[in-house]
Amino acid sequence: MDKTSKKQARRLARERALQALYQWDITSDDASAVHAEILDRQEMERVDIDYFTVLFKGVSHDVESVDVLLEKALDRPLLELDPIERSVLRLCCYELSEQLATPARVVINEGVEITKRFGADKGHKYVNGVLDKLALVLRGPEMNAKK
């Protein structure tokens, strides 16, 4: 897999993880059932399935820890957020806190791009602001070193 296709496979993994987290959040279905349904019903041929699984399970199996970190960067209660934005922010919060091999700026950019695709009009601006603030908290030295 070349670098471009790996990047695309990761982007698709994030998109599928967003879809799974959104479905899980809205329906309150069992996380394992949602995971299996996404694998079964979505086009997964070009997706980094392992990364999709890491992201989805990382959030869904410990959402309370993710939410505690995320709430430090929010200006309103988490449950008042648009469900897509909430799912993107949870996904990116997990990635910022646990997937340290992925640069913070990549996580932020991916979160913004996915929100542009799936979220409400201008929702990406809110997501960008929250992720910038969160990255400073979770990865301050990395963020400050690259200014």
Q: What is the CATH number of the domain that holds 12?
A: 1.10.940.10
Yes or no: say if 139 and 96 are a contact pair by the CB < 8 Å rule: yes
- Interior/surface letters 51-75, b for 16+ CB within 10 angstroms, e for the rest: bbbbbbbbbbeebeebbebbeebbe
Query: pLDDT class for 1, splitting at 50, 70, 90?
Result: very low
Number of domains in the chain: 1
Task: Indicate yes or no: pTM above 0.85.
Answer: yes
| CB atoms near residue 76 (< 10 Å) | 9
pLDDT in tens, 58-111: 999 999 999 999 999 999 999 999 999 999 999 999 999 999 999 999 999 999
Mean pLDDT of the chain: 94
From residue 82, how far is each of 18, 25, 50 by CA, in Å?
13, 11, 27
Which residue range is the domain that position 135 belongs to? 3-145
Task: Read off the amino acid at residue 68.
Answer: V
